Amino acid sequence: MSKLKHNVEKIWEKGIPVDALIEKFTIGKDRELDLVLTPFDVLGSMAHVKMLHSIQLIDDDELPEILNELTKIYHLAVSGQFQIEEGIEDVHSQVELMLTRALGDMGKKIHSGRSRNDQVLLDLKLYARNEIKEITGLSEKLFSLLIRRSNQSKDVLIPGYTHLQVAMPSSFGLWFGAYAESLTDDLQLLNAAWKITNQNPLGSAAGYGSSFPLNRQMTTDLLGFDNMNYNVVYAQMGRGKVEKTIAFALSSIASTLSKLAFDVCMFTSQNFGFVKLPDNMTTGSSIMPHKKNPDVFELLRAHCNKIQALPNDIVLMTNNLPSGYFRDLQIIKEVFIPAFDELKSCLQIAAYAIENMTLNENVLDDKKYDLIFSVEDVNKLASSGVPFRDAYKQVARKILDGEYVPQKNVHHTHEGSIGNLCNDMITEKMNSIVDLFDFEKIDTCYSKLLSK
């Protein structure tokens, strides 16, 4: 077999060339998307090779040579120099080809007890763990900023709304703090997705296990998984389900950002005038010289609404599939992998814009907001002994008769209200959730793998 023929032959080929048009369609975007999976494919292969050595499928003298070549490939991948050659289907095939070129028959042993089905599922899980770590870090940064701005503006009152009608006193402290606490729930959901993701599928092979005496616990430990998907059929059923579960968590974060973006777009308009972006963070109009548009938050809203559609996209690709592997699952990567960078960009730009946003500390000087204090007056009457419903009617009558004069002081002290934001407790809640991820365990496992 010539080297040229070997370079383009598929690892599953049996001597029958694939129709070029069919090949192009079935490979799709796999080659470009697989480049982001490469470091994780190599790490998974290193763990797999060590396990194969433990069950005598790789010899003592072969193990260090294979690990050395895999380490070289890993460093090529993280430096951006790894390429999937023309005619090679995917990252798995390219890595095996490079090993075989370097080591000959020794490199062909790496696929024992493994299928591309469990290999790609493993790669996606390792990749998703890494992306979840980055999303968590960026969410933490945005959270800390929101808490800081909440504390700084806790005494600056603004109107609160129901039905988009002026309702009751609120504050910038409450507003910023609300989005901070929303992120705690988002990360709680992300942690649930993390726990489902952080189970080892390796060893399920094509979905029905292997006659080799694989040590699945060993690869579980080497890769820092909490446990494994024990049932090999279920491990393969996890393809699509894992991505969908993560997508729901990403969409929850996106929902928080989208709502925040809507608020800012509204609050920057002249009709509200609650907040202001620096002029250099706004855009203009080609015909209206006065325009200063909050495009950054409009686009943030659109990107986040797009991300919120991701779970449904994945559901529609998987909801009519029985157990077992199907090529339909390949297409999930096309919507799943790009979503992480999109959300990370949204988290970064949201933090940057909010950091530079200025607040109007005199919003309530406008008389149109006077009526938000009516509930305060009802409560004062009720506290003095007037039945609440009678107090309500007394204040309502003053409003109807044009005699209402607000007393613009607010005294809220219960947990989570204007005068008692509970930001320390919210921060404690966030910290306890982040601690559940235990990212350091995985970093330690990877370091040990790469040290050979």
Summarize pLDDT for 124-162 with one digit per residue, the tens.
999 999 999 999 999 999 999 999 999 999 999 999 999
pLDDT at 9 over 70: no
Q: Are 205 and 115 in contact (CB under 8 A)?
A: yes
Which pLDDT value is given to residue 1? 34
**What residue ranges do the domains of the chain occupy?**
13-112, 117-363+422-436, 366-400
Summarize pLDDT for 388-446 with one digit per residue, the tens.
999 999 999 999 999 999 988 898 999 999 999 999 999 999 999 999 999 999 999 99
Q: At what angle do helices 38-54 and 62-78 cross, to 10 degrees?
A: 170
CA distances, 222 to each of 56, 58, 245, 436 (Å): 18, 17, 24, 20
Spatial neighbors of 112 by CB under 8 A, at least 6 apart, are 52, 57, 212
Same topology for domains 13-112 and 117-363+422-436, yes or no?
no
CA distances, 277 to each of 86, 157, 264, 359, 440 (Å): 48, 19, 9, 9, 38
- Residue 445 tokens read as 């496992």
- Residue recorded with tokens 């129901």: 162
Q: Where are the beta strands (DSSP E) in 322-372?
A: 358-359
Fold of 117-363+422-436: Fumarase C; Chain A, domain 2 (1.20.200)
Confidence of residue 10 (pLDDT cuts 50, 70, 90): low
What gap in Å lies between CA 452 and CA 448, rounded to an integer? Answer: 7
What gap in Å lies between CA 155 and CA 169, rounded to an integer? Answer: 11
Helix %, strand %, coil % of the chain (to 5): 65, 5, 30
Confidence of residue 21 (pLDDT cuts 50, 70, 90): confident
Summarize pLDDT for 183-208 with one digit per residue, the tens.
999 999 999 999 999 999 999 999 99
CA-atom Rg of the chain in angstroms:
29
Summarize pLDDT for 87-135 with one digit per residue, the tens.
888 899 899 999 999 999 999 999 999 998 999 999 999 999 999 999 9
Which pLDDT value is given to residue 3? 38
Instruction: At 400, give phi and psi (nearest 5°).
Output: -65, -35
Question: Is the pLDDT higher at 18 or at 67?
Answer: 67
Beta-bridge partner residues of 422: none
Q: Which of 114, 102, 85 is nearest to 4 (CA)?
A: 85
C-beta contacts of 273-279 below 8 A and 24+ residues apart: 273/360, 273/363, 274/158, 274/359, 274/360, 274/363, 275/357, 275/358, 275/359, 275/360, 276/357, 276/358, 276/360, 277/353, 277/356, 277/357, 278/356, 278/358
Which pLDDT value is given to residue 432? 97
Domain 13-112 has CATH 1.10.275.10: yes
